[in-house]
Amino acid sequence: MTPAGIFWICVAGLFVAFILFLVIRTLLVRVKPLPKEEFTPEDISEKQLGERLSEAVKIPTVTVLDGKGSYEPFLLFHAFLEKTYPNIFKSAEKTLINGYSLILKIDGSDKNLLPACFLSHQDVVPAPKEGWETEPFGGEIIDGFVYGRGSLDMKGHLIALMEGLEKILERKGKPVRSIYLCFGHDEEITGKDGARMIVEHLYAQGVRMEYVVDEGGAIMDGGLLGVNGKIALIGTCEKGYVDYVLTATKDGGHASSPKKRSSVDAIAEAVYDLSHLPMKSYWSKPIKETFRTLAPFMKFPYKLLFVNSDVLGPLLRWLLSKVNPVTNSIVRTTFAFTQLQGSSAPNVIPVTSKAVVNVRINIGQTQKEVKEYIQKVVGKEITVTELNPGFDPTPVSETKGEIYEIILKSVAEVFDGYIPAPYPFIAASDAKHYYKICDKVYRFGPIEMGVDDQNRIHADNERCNIASATRGAQFFARLIENTCY
């Protein structure tokens, strides 16, 4: 046999051995059953929850931006909560922050235990009537759904939390562990006057939390990742956020005699270049944990890929970046152009043209790195400036401690057969502010929704499934029972 033949036989042997290695690793991975107890969920009335959520939606607590709007609805919302949930308000010490953000503290019997903290936000984005099939703040109940702005983001979550806590207080009385409810009033504009100031207030008092739970994680169909069944995603961190303004300045003039290269041309090229040259994808710590957790539940081809993600990483990252926008977002920093500005008249070539790019920063990267990358791609003729202060990605909360295990247990008990898994939240929430007073900050929205309803958030015809919200209330009740009693 020739040396070349021997060489290729060796190559083939190594390839077969490599494939066998991957297959054997995959076959050795087994599903570990989640710990759970048999229990009877709280008897929470769907009819009553639906009616209460409807009333909450009717109060138009639209985020007040730059003094445009009214704070009066927030005070009406506080009065509604106090009237609707007497057990909570009878047990709680109430504190207002900046006039409209709300802290409710329920003292536990054991002062040695750090408190549990549950977040929600009262504010909702605006909802012009155009495009809606119902009144945006009508709170209409149709075919098992409450329609209206904020029904999903996030009054459904808030009402589910209040329903669950109200029931558990009624049945079990004073908790052992203290409980905080913290409801900001400006989450939709980063929580700078709400959640941030709540945290400053608590920090000044020396308060630390055992754990914090906010919106963010979701229940989704596992089919996208080759998992049979539903996945309950628990956010252990969130991506960073910043808006950059790209500005080009060149000679302007009359459109009848266009220059070879205007500020519009420069901005158009910058937008094109940045859209087609994204930052590199990579495995962050939390996404590694996501796939490590889900791999045992996957069908074989997917399982082979994800069990061996340490070896097949480049291929997997490429596939995830191509599958859909969500999977692309979990493996890279994303750029989304949202605003363009040129001339104020159709026949004038502008001296200055601008584009705003919304950036969601992957875990492990920083605003500084991102800005330097953008500047490198768009070139020196484009000025890159921050539209807002922005924030870097949050720390990553632990996934091995007792509290996290109890969250998993509570999910398994209420959502029987669903697979809980940690993941990096790709949007933003008030939770980002709470790391100053807590190391274990998690995000989980226990209201199950389909893709259609997910697409209604911040959009026309937002609605919340009442049965799903009722199950969410049972989850909150169970989590509180498992951690605070």
> Which residues are marked as active site?
123, 187
> Smallest Cα–Cα separation from 254: which of 354, 350, 353?
350
> Smallest Cα–Cα separation from 407: which of 484, 335, 331?
484
> Smallest Cα–Cα separation from 372: which of 187, 244, 283?
244
The HSE-up count of residue 262 (CA atoms within 13 Å, CB side) is 18
Q: Which residues lie across from 106 on neighbouring strands?
A: 92, 179
Give me the amino acid identity at 471.
R
Q: Which strand (E) or helix (H) includes residue 360?
A: strand 352-361
Residue 68 φ/ψ, nearest 5 degrees? -95, 105
Q: Write down the H helix ranges in 205-295.
A: 263-276, 285-294
Report CA torsion sign: 408, 412, 415, 421: positive
CA gyration radius for the chain?
25
- 202: how many CB neighbours lie within 10 A of its CB? 24
Give me the amino acid identity at 434.
Y
